[in-house]
Amino acid sequence: MGRDTAHEAGDGRPDAAFVEAEITRLQERWDSAIGELGTAVPVNQLRALLIIDDSGALSPSRLAAVLGMAMPAVSSLCDRMAASGLLRPAAQTRREITLATTAAGKRLVLWIRARRRALLAHELASMSAEGRRALARGLGELGRPLPNPDAGST
């Protein structure tokens, strides 16, 4: 059985377990690419920092929803990140505060992304042109919003 068919479900589609394993492998390589940070910045803080930076600014409640964490845990996480000089208040209303990365946080985000992109460029260089096109096409489709399965039922 060739590589193209070895990881297919019975219906000819790629096996979800294989795809999940490959995404996990890539995540582990990304994590190792920033390993020189050691424990200076915990992984959950790095993840939160990347999410906040992607958003430009984000409320702690929205960050909690994205991370799948409880508000008290996110509040503590943000307090530690602010104390480390990675986050700052971006705006505050009577109802909620919005957080953004500081200049130091932004430098760390840029460094992480540069390391990840260098690793990814190395991985992509080992692929055939056809494989890179298929990957780009597949990732584009995977990133599309899923239709709501309940949309048609009333």
The tens digit of pLDDT for each residue in 105-152 reads: 999 999 999 988 988 899 899 999 999 999 899 888 887 887 766 655
26: in domain: no
Range of the domain at 101: 34-141
Q: Closest by alpha carbon to 49, among 112, 94, 4, 92? A: 112
Q: Kindly tell me if the per-residue pLDDT of 56 is higher than 80.
A: yes
CATH number at residue 119: 1.10.10.10
pLDDT for position 1 = 40
- Look up the pTM and report it: 0.75
Assigned domain for 101 exists: yes
Is residue 154 a part of any domain in this protein?
Answer: no
Mind listing the pLDDT tens digit for each residue in 93-106? 878 889 999 999 99
Question: Is position 40 within any domain?
Answer: yes
Alpha carbons 34 and 112: distance in angstroms, whole number: 6
Evaluate if residue 7 carries a pLDDT over 70. Answer: no
pLDDT at residue 129, as a whole number: 95
In a domain, 128, yes or no: yes
User: Per the structure, how many domains does the chain have?
Assistant: 1
Kindly state whether residue 84 falls inside one of the protein's structural domains.
yes
**Rounded percentage of the chain residues whose pLDDT exceeds 70:** 86
